[in-house]
Structure 1
Amino acid sequence: MRRRVVVIGGGIAGLATAALLARDGHTVHLLEQQDSLGGRAGRWEADGFRFDTGPSWYLMPEVIDHWFRLMGTSAEAELDLVRLDPGYRTFFEGEPAPVDVGGGRGGAVALFESLDPGSGTALARYLDEAEDAYRIATQRFLYDDFSSLRGLASPDLLRRLPRLVALLTQTLEGRIARRFRDPRERQVLGYPAVFLGTTPFRAPALYALMSHLDLGQGILYPRGGFAALVDAMERLARRAGVDVRLGARAQRILTGVAGGGARAEGVEWTDDGGRGHRLSADLVVGAADLHHLETELLPASLRSHPEDAWARRDPGPGAVLACLGIRGELPELAHHNLFFARDWRDNFRRIAAGSPLPDPTSLYVSRTSATDPHAAPAGGESLFVLVPAPAKPEWGRGGVDGSGSPVVEAVADAAIRQVSVWAGIPDLATRVAVRRTIGPGDFAADFNAWRGGALGLAHTLGQSAMFRPANASRKVSGLLYSGASVRPGIGVPMCLISAELVLKRVRGDRRPGPVAPGKPWAGQLAADSLAAESLPAEASWPI
């Protein structure tokens, strides 16, 4: 049936969900508390410098393109994609020179062979296995909400069962260490675990599939950054008929009684002026942080995940971010740059324990102006620095020109010094013309992120696939979830898939695998539904 839908949260997942449902013929209202869409995929501009303040690695391009095709277009038509070569530059503590990682499989194999003779062959075999794991994951795990376990009984999955058991019971680091001796190679293969909100010492070996993405497929960049991706998604969502409301803070998910249980009936929200509003709905989709949705917008009796369950969960790392506008050019840096501390086991341990970071620490630097000339004024560079840190909102918030909390600013200062020394840019600190920092406190305040986490629930074994929170409430019918907190997980592609899982559930499609692009599903357009009888379609009142 055609339904009235309210989506809470205008990040990647909420925007993607709203657009897919609207294209399927539903009436969709999207509520976003900020004054722009994108959520963690944010943007900031100052004095001609432009920054992405969130995701910056364009991985799983076929997943992103698939979402666009569901919307009747393609990534190629909507974005200006550039292939990076090198894919990224790596700096290793104690090593005299950086190492460039090529933009594809052949370059990666040659690089490993040069670092440790014989390891090129080992990498080729490793990447074959990673590609196979990735194919199985996309066909059988990622596009399955596990409301039924029939997808796990497929013949191709059963044939791989012994290998899958091994991949799930080993750690990523353990699998890498048994095959590669050179510590630099181990770090190149292990760092993608951070994209999953965890560490190679805790991630299941199944996530070796990530190496198929950066080493096998290579890395793309959308000119204009991820802000361009958000703009394209917003354009398509509005074209599909989504009613976007900015500055709209959800206060309560309205519920009623239906069939002896609770049912979602709408959302109460307030605008920037403090005026209250009420939207009735047949379906509510929570695309914000799951902990916030359940503990702040629902009564305790209707929460699928009580507070004591959250106490046993891993929020993943937090982060300190720095947006730096630099005078002069920085040829010492590539587009993507990874800085690896020698003892990164201790590095990860400190992050998990909430301890002060080591000096030096492992970090990431994006020099987007290396590829995108519009990211900085002529003769300048735009740097985005990400320092993985404990998920501790008490570290405080960032600010402009050093006005953030002392802890956040100290972490940023240390990162600038480290980049300066390791990359051979002795005057880097004195060339900073624009500076803004973002801390764990900002993630908590701006995105309602549980414990100030920068990404979402860590992809440990107990928080992956069917063990991750589901895309539907167990206590409230008509209440669905999408985003990094739920299945399938963290990252832009995963959030796009979570939106598709909501679409499939609304359609009544329980099959594993992605939806075939095409016209809106006829079964959803059979009849109009009525708005919830207990409330008018929309109401407002002063608060």
Structure 2
Amino acid sequence: GRWTTDDRPVRGCRGRCPRVGRPGEHPPRASTTLSSSVVVSTHLPPTITMDLCGPHGCRCRSAILAFALSASGAFSFVQFSRLSPRSPTRSRIDGSSQLPPLFSTPESQKVCIVGAGVGGLATASRIASAMPNATVTILEKNDRDLAGGRMGSFDAFVDGASGSYRHERGPSLLLLRDEYEKLFEDCGKRTSSEGTQAKSYGLDMKQCVPAYQVVFDDGDRVSVGFPRNTSGLTANDIEQIQVLEQESMDRMNEWEPNGHKKWVEYLDTCAAYLDCGLPNFIEEKLELTSFPAFIWEAMREKGKRWPLKPHSSVLSELFESPKMVALASFQDLYVGLEPYLNQKQPLGGILRKTAPAVFGLLSAIELHPTNRRAGVFAPLGGFRQVAKSMVELCADNGVEFVFNATVTNIGGGGVHFRHGSSNMFRNADLVICNADIPYASESLINEHKDDVYRETYDWDDSFDFSSGVVAFHWSISKSLRALATHNVFMSSNNTEDAIGSWSVLREGSRSASEATTLIDQPFNFYVHRASATDRSACPSGCDAIMVLVPCPALERNKDIASLSREDVMSTYAGQFDSNVLDDYRKAVIKRLSVLEGLEGLGDYIIDEVVDTPATYASHYNLGAGVPFGLVSDQSHGLSQLSLTRPGAEWKNRGNEFMFVGASGRPGNGVPLVLIGSEQVSRKAVELLSTHPK
């Protein structure tokens, strides 16, 4: 088609493409509108137009650029530029400015990022910071308020309430704080008296002490995660924490002899896994000094702590009480894996949905008292403040945003998308996709797609998915002081109940309607109470809580893939009808009643928002509607360990592009996505620098 310097097609081409036998036809017509070497580093006036056969221009591109660099080309550009003002070289975040210039050069590479999730925002910041002359653009399907993808918050407004209730739509606990700070230190442009670049962008992180409260179905409870560094705490806070820690030590010792001592030893083992696994296998930085401690922990006592055994197999040799085993493995819940050995699967299931013992490093990340990278934090203002800070970081580095841009296809050297009622194409030297890999591989890079501008939702089911989640966001008319910031409710009265409580993961292929009702069954779930750390989350005397209950993922229906997106989403929403949600709601309220002050909680719920796998599919285009992003080729479990996950570089129909995000390396969760974005951006900068146009 006919293209302008903002890459918007305006009408059909009137000549034959040089690729089919008439080279040189277009360059003479277009040459008088082009620049000399100035085109290398600046945007052309937006009024300049040229006829090309497509976004790349085929051989026209080389011929035109050769003319542009000639003396006559320079004269033509100077003459023309006197008649037309120059376009701005950078836009900010309103998505309304001119798009990048048509011609890419070593100094003016074009990068298009699909999705403003955590991976997209972080990668954009890093590339734009490393290559100031590059044009980095993010296309995001949602509006600006939903930038950050799953990482974000929303407000519930209730009639008669003195303020709003803030709820997290995705992550609710902040781990590996140094990864957040590193992003802002590497890319931040502000000078401030706040002390860190992160704070200068409004990101303030407060540690949660204790990190968790774990509640069992018989009402027994224990707190874990007491850091030795108490700087910033008042004397009264420290005294209360010491009392709570002593109570927890006593409770562990009641469950089994030397229970607390065994707990401390286990956390030290997990710290060795962390200190070796994080730099060497997650960050991909060789750090040999950590291997001796790792090998010692793995081999001592005849390999009792061998990291590649099923998690429960290691824990059952270290602990006697089912409650201690549950306490040491509840983090597996967050990555959609079960800790228990599955006799029906090879190697006890670690090749699929059973967590290997090395996943104990999650316990060290959250709960170890002295490890320099450990601790659970809360971002003040909620995770939407994290997203807001990252958007501002992008803007300070000149990243361009186009919001409400629904990407429909990746290929042909760029990205097809819909913006309002317009079909548009953005060509790029490099496309980086922050969309979920199973969804993108089926819906965005499907070579059999008949219409590149048709919006679809489907996913590649050759991947093995973890569980879905039903999330209840409840605005409560009273304060729930029995809850900590982070609470995990476990069913572990005996080993049989403990194993049964993970059945939704083991039987993940069953649909929600076929699954056993929860009301009288053992199950595990998580509760977040933001006001315990940040009082701005809700009105005084009230509370806002989020309850996450594992559930089956969406059951794929290939027959509806050709329907409109609206009809597809409506069909999938039907897999979680009111009967299913009523069962989940009643089961959760019954379990919560074991805590003082939470009896009859249903009477105090004044507003409810429910998210199901269908919701996550609709909002974020997640394959099977699973929020954890844990997928790999034909397997799960052990294959989720960093290097065995889908890699960044992909090829499709001869087009090279990259993936970044929770479905790729090194794993899911915001800090791992931040680590992955650094790896992807490094590869992207290297590629753009060594393969200039």
2:415 to 263, 267, 277: 267
Instruction: Report if the CA contact (8 A) 1:396-1:405 is conserved.
Output: no
- Which residues in structure 2 correspond to 1:56-135 (within 5 Å)? 56-72=172-188, 74-77=197-200, 78-94=202-218, 96-104=219-227, 107=245, 110=249, 112-113=252-253, 115-135=255-275
1:349 to 503, 517, 529: 503
Shift of residue 168, structure 1, vs aligned partner: 4.5
Letter in 1 for 2:138: L
Q: What CA distance in whole angstroms lies between the structure 2 residues aligned with 1:75 and 1:110? A: 36
Structure 2 residue aligned with 1:174:
313
Instruction: Report if the CA contact (8 A) 2:112-2:138 is conserved.
Output: yes
Structure 1 residue aligned with 2:142:
34
Q: Which runs of 5+ in 1 are unaligned?
A: 145-150, 256-264, 303-308, 510-522, 531-543
Q: What CA distance in whole angstroms lies between the structure 1 residues aligned with 2:321 and 2:197? A: 41
Shift of residue 197, structure 1, vs aligned partner: 2.2
- Provide the secondary structure at the position in 2 that maps to 1:295: helix
Structure 2 residue aligned with 1:318:
468
Higher alpha-carbon Rg: 2
Structure 2 residue aligned with 1:252:
409
Shift of residue 325, structure 1, vs aligned partner: 0.6
1:478 aligned to 2:656?
A: yes
Shift of residue 100, structure 1, vs aligned partner: 2.1
Shift of residue 135, structure 1, vs aligned partner: 1.5
Shift of residue 203, structure 1, vs aligned partner: 0.8
- Provide the secondary structure at the position in 2 that maps to 1:238: helix
Judged with a 3 Å threshold, the aligned counterparts in structure 2 of structure 1 residues 412 and 21 are, in CA distance, closer, same or farther, namely farther
Q: What CA distance in whole angstroms lies between the structure 2 residues aligned with 1:101 and 1:497? A: 27
- Provide the secondary structure at the position in 2 that maps to 1:473: strand
- Which residues in structure 2 correspond to 1:39-438 (within 5 Å)? 39-47=149-157, 48-72=164-188, 74-77=197-200, 78-94=202-218, 96-104=219-227, 107=245, 110=249, 112-113=252-253, 115-144=255-284, 157=291, 167-201=306-340, 202-216=354-368, 217-255=374-412, 265-271=413-419, 273-300=420-447, 311=461, 313-342=463-492, 343-353=497-507, 354=510, 355-359=515-519, 360=521, 361-392=523-554, 397=573, 405-438=578-611
Structure 1 residue aligned with 2:666:
488
Question: Would you say how many aligned residue pairs link Structure 1 and Structure 2?
Answer: 489
- Provide the secondary structure at the position in 1 that maps to 2:318: coil
Greater Cα shift, 276-285 or 1-10: 1-10
Letter in 2 for 1:183: P
Shift of residue 79, structure 1, vs aligned partner: 2.0
Tell me the C-alpha RMSD between the 2 structures: 3.0
Shift of residue 152, structure 1, vs aligned partner: 7.2
Structure with higher strand content: 1
- Provide the secondary structure at the position in 2 that maps to 1:85: coil
Q: What CA distance in whole angstroms lies between the structure 1 residues aligned with 2:547 and 2:312? A: 25
- Provide the secondary structure at the position in 2 that maps to 1:478: strand
**Structure number with higher relative contact order (C-alpha < 8 Å, ≥ 6 residues apart):** 1
- Provide the secondary structure at the position in 2 that maps to 1:497: helix
Q: What CA distance in whole angstroms lies between the structure 2 residues aligned with 1:347 and 1:421? A: 18
Letter in 1 for 2:392: R
Greater Cα shift, 63-72 or 367-376: 63-72
- Provide the secondary structure at the position in 2 that maps to 1:508: helix
Shift of residue 492, structure 1, vs aligned partner: 0.5
Instruction: Report if the CA contact (8 A) 1:417-1:429 is conserved.
Output: no
Letter in 1 for 2:256: D
Q: Which runs of 5+ in 2 are unaligned?
A: 1-105, 158-163, 189-195, 229-241, 341-353, 369-373, 450-458, 557-570
Letter in 2 for 1:348: W
Q: What CA distance in whole angstroms lies between the structure 2 residues aligned with 1:154 and 1:221? A: 33
Instruction: Report if the CA contact (8 A) 1:365-1:385 is conserved.
Output: yes
Letter in 2 for 1:292: Y
- Provide the secondary structure at the position in 1 that maps to 2:666: coil
Letter in 1 for 2:205: L
Structure 1 residue aligned with 2:117:
11
Judged with a 3 Å threshold, the aligned counterparts in structure 2 of structure 1 residues 240 and 227 are, in CA distance, closer, same or farther, namely same
Shift of residue 8, structure 1, vs aligned partner: 0.7
Q: TM-score, normalised by structure 1?
A: 0.83
Greater Cα shift, 103-112 or 376-385: 103-112
Greater Cα shift, 344-353 or 384-393: 344-353
Shift of residue 86, structure 1, vs aligned partner: 2.2
Q: What CA distance in whole angstroms lies between the structure 1 residues aligned with 2:528 and 2:331? A: 16
Judged with a 3 Å threshold, the aligned counterparts in structure 2 of structure 1 residues 373 and 268 are, in CA distance, closer, same or farther, namely same
Shift of residue 410, structure 1, vs aligned partner: 3.3
Identical columns (%): 27
Q: What CA distance in whole angstroms lies between the structure 1 residues aligned with 2:225 and 2:622? A: 35
- Provide the secondary structure at the position in 1 that maps to 2:618: helix
Q: What CA distance in whole angstroms lies between the structure 2 residues aligned with 1:220 and 1:114? A: 29
- Provide the secondary structure at the position in 2 that maps to 1:322: strand
Q: What CA distance in whole angstroms lies between the structure 2 residues aligned with 1:453 and 1:495? A: 16
Q: What CA distance in whole angstroms lies between the structure 1 residues aligned with 2:602 and 2:274? A: 41
Letter in 2 for 1:130: C
Judged with a 3 Å threshold, the aligned counterparts in structure 2 of structure 1 residues 116 and 410 are, in CA distance, closer, same or farther, namely same
Instruction: Report if the CA contact (8 A) 2:439-2:460 is conserved.
Output: no
Judged with a 3 Å threshold, the aligned counterparts in structure 2 of structure 1 residues 357 and 284 are, in CA distance, closer, same or farther, namely farther
Shift of residue 312, structure 1, vs aligned partner: 5.1
Judged with a 3 Å threshold, the aligned counterparts in structure 2 of structure 1 residues 276 and 238 are, in CA distance, closer, same or farther, namely same
Q: What CA distance in whole angstroms lies between the structure 2 residues aligned with 1:376 and 1:190? A: 31
